[in-house]
Amino acid sequence: MNLPNRIFFTGVPGSKWSGIAQILESDSAFNTSDRMPEREYAHNTYSGHKGAYFGQGMEFYPDPTKVDQAWHGGDGIKIVKSHDWAYMLDVIKPGFIDDWAMLVYRPNEVSNAWWHQAGGFEISYPNYSHYKNSENMFDAIKEQNNNILRFAHKHNATWNYFTTEWIKTTFGLDIEVNTSYDDILVSIIK
Q: What is the pLDDT of residue 45?
A: 61
Q: What is the pLDDT of residue 168?
A: 98
**What's the CA angle centered on 148, arms 144 and 154, to 5 degrees?**
140
pTM over 0.85: yes
Q: How far apart are CA 134 and CA 154, in angstroms?
A: 30
Q: How high does pLDDT run on average in the chain?
A: 95
**What's the first-to-final CA gap in the chain, in angstroms?**
13
Residue 140 lies in a domain: yes
Q: How far apart are CA 39 and CA 175, in angstroms?
A: 24
**Contact residues for 47 (Cβ-Cβ < 8 A; gap 6+):** 18, 19, 22
| pLDDT > 70 fraction of the chain, expressed in percent and rounded | 98
Domain total in the chain: 1
Residue 108 lies in a domain: yes
Give SS3 for 9.
Answer: strand
The tens digit of pLDDT for each residue in 35-53 reads 999 999 987 666 789 999 9
Residue 1 lies in a domain: no
Residue 46 lies in a domain: yes
Task: Give the residue numbers spanning the domain of 60.
Answer: 6-189
Q: What is the pLDDT of residue 46?
A: 64
The tens digit of pLDDT for each residue in 95-113 reads 999 999 999 999 999 999 9
Residue 63 lies in a domain: yes
Residue 34 lies in a domain: yes
**Contact residues for 116 (Cβ-Cβ < 8 A; gap 6+):** 14, 134
